[in-house]
Amino acid sequence: MKFITEKNLSKIIIYVFIIIMTSMIFMISYFYVKNTYEDFDIQMEKFVSEHYATQKSSLKKEINTIIDIIKYNATKSGENEIEVKEDTIRLLNNITFDKNKSNYIFAYEIFDINGGDNFAKLLVNPNRPDLIGQYISTNYKDQNGKKFREKFMYDIRLKGESFTGYAYSKVYTDEVRQKLSYFKYFPRWQWVIAVGVYVDDIEEDFTKKRKLLKHRVKNQVVQNILLFLLFLSLAIVISILLSQKIEDVLKSYQKRVHSNSLALKELNETLEKRVEEEIDKNREHEQLLVQKSRFIALGEMISNIAHQWRQPLSELSSILMNIKFKYNIDQLDEKTMNQKTKEAEVVLEYMSHTIDDFRNFFMPKKEKEKFSLRTAMDSIMTIISSALSNNKINITICIDDNITLNTYLNEFEQVILNIITNAKDVLIENNIEKPWIKIYTEDKDDKIILYIEDNGGGVKVEPRNKIFDPYFTTKKDSNGTGIGLYMSKTIVDKNMDGKLRVRDGEFGARFEIILKK
């Protein structure tokens, strides 16, 4: 049982379309949501990184401002430096800080830059007033076991400043939180001045930013999913309308198929009879072509006989006039009569031989025969040489005497004569200076290729093989019938099991006849 039929084809199309569209929408939605949340994570990472950088920059800026003030106070002339230090300590203690973020200024006086148990004394720390004036150690560890004082002192020795994170008690609470502080060394007084911010204060900003971004992402996802569903709904509606249209087209197609089936059935019933009629018509057409070709060949033969006999007739006329002249002056003796008689017999024998050549050329032969290609060309030249010489066309034949063919001699000679005649007509029509025709061969494996080339300018028809079509001619004033080359190709390709083709040579057309040895 077939699952897909003409009746349910439109429904199957709509179902397949809906499944594909639904799958595509869900896949697009899935990847969109996934990529959106990945972008959200990237944005949060970027925000955290940038926010930390901003906080570090802010802390550094605050300390640099304070140090600039200290430098300014320390350079005042006429003031005791001890008093300046005391004023500075009071100033640092009085600097207010943001209680919401618990950031404050603190300072150390360094006694040993390399660190140790009593490396410094705490001067300012609003969060640890109990340690003011106390010596402190770099060996002190925070709640996580980190020696953060050793860390920032190492950085100060190396570059004079340090960003260090550590765990420390938060202002106004007993809670220990992670803190990020910036320490900077003031060499003149051997002070380290610092300011810090608690990480949980920074994370509050992260939390707010995360909530804001999540809300925005959620809105975008919902909007796009609703938009995808809207597109899916529209696609389903359009597919339903298209399926109905397809169903109408299929019904119309079925009607046409049924109508064509009836017509085809009727055609099949009468096909055999019409084929026989067409075959008969084609036979009649081919017979007419052959008959027409024979008449054309006969006309060519009569024209060529006229060319061949023109000179012998002139010679015979000259002999008769000489005999008459001798007779009139009473000098026609037996010797003269015998000599002129022999000359007349030679001329008449030549004319008789010409008639035999033409008769043999057009005599139908249905059996293949083995013949010399050079001898066949000589026979053809007997027919056409006078027409070529009268038009001053030079013909060159380069054919080995040992080349033999086994095919239909008369048909082969007719083909060669047709091609040479066509070349002659082209050379005359185009008024070619120093016209020539070359005939030569090429021995290639088990084949002989006969080339007939001229300097008439080449075939100007596209495609070139069109010249072999029946009734096609390029000759002006309807001087051509368009049958010669068509019959020649038919003879070579079908009767001789060879190939006749035309190519462009260097100076004109080049016909190639390919035959088996």
Residue 392 pLDDT > 80: yes
- What are the sequence ranges of the domains in the chain? 57-199, 364-516
Give residues with Cβ within 8 angstroms of 133, minimum separation 6: 121, 122, 123
Residue for token digits 């002070």? Answer: 191
pLDDT digits (tens, 9 = 90+) for 378-389: 888 877 887 788
Homologous superfamily (CATH) of 364-516 is: Histidine kinase-like ATPase, C-terminal domain (3.30.565.10)
- Enclosing H/E stretch for 408: none
Supply the pLDDT for residue 1.
Answer: 46
Supply the pLDDT for residue 124.
Answer: 86
Residue 425 pLDDT > 80: yes
Residue 173 pLDDT > 80: no
Supply the pLDDT for residue 478.
Answer: 46
* Cα–Cα distance measured from residue 436 to residue 166, given in angstroms and rounded to the nearest whole number: 108
Helices (H) and strands (E) in the chain, counts: 8, 13
Residue 189 pLDDT > 70: yes
Average pLDDT over residues 184-209: 79
Residue 374 pLDDT > 80: yes
Q: Which residues of 50-80 are buried (b: 16+ CB within 10 A; e: fewer)?
A: eeeeebeeebeebbeebbeebeebeeeeeee
Residue 452 pLDDT > 90: yes
Q: Which carries the bigger pLDDT value, residue 403 or residue 281?
A: 403
User: What are residue 205's phi and psi, to 5 degrees?
Assistant: -65, -40
Residue 27 pLDDT > 60: yes
Residue 480 pLDDT > 70: no
For the record, the structure tokens of 254 come out as 């079925």
Measured in residues, the chain has a length of 517
DSSP-derived secondary structure letter, 8: T
Residue 285 pLDDT > 70: no
Residue 66 pLDDT > 60: yes
Q: What is the mean pLDDT of the chain?
A: 77
- Enclosing H/E stretch for 368: none
Supply the pLDDT for residue 311.
Answer: 60
Residue 102 pLDDT > 70: no
Q: pLDDT-derived band of residue 355, with 50, 70 and 90 as boundaries?
A: low
Q: Please tell me whether residue 5 adopts helix, strand or coil conformation.
A: coil
Residue 514's CB is within 10 A of a number of other CB atoms, namely 17
Least confident among 295-304, 383-392, 505-514: 295-304
Residue 505 pLDDT > 90: no
Residue 436 pLDDT > 80: yes
Average pLDDT over residues 288-310: 60
Average pLDDT over residues 178-193: 88
Supply the pLDDT for residue 417.
Answer: 85
For the record, the structure tokens of 27 come out as 């896949």
Q: Give the helix, strand, coil percentages of the chain, each rounded to 5.
A: 60, 15, 25
Residue 202 pLDDT > 80: no
Distance from chain centroid for Cα 470: 40
Residue 242 pLDDT > 80: no
Q: Which carries the bigger pLDDT value, residue 121 or residue 458?
A: 121
In CATH, the architecture of 57-199 is: 2-Layer Sandwich (3.30)
Q: Please tell me whether residue 86 adopts helix, strand or coil conformation.
A: helix
Pair 370, 402: CB distance under 8 Å: no
Supply the pLDDT for residue 183.
Answer: 92
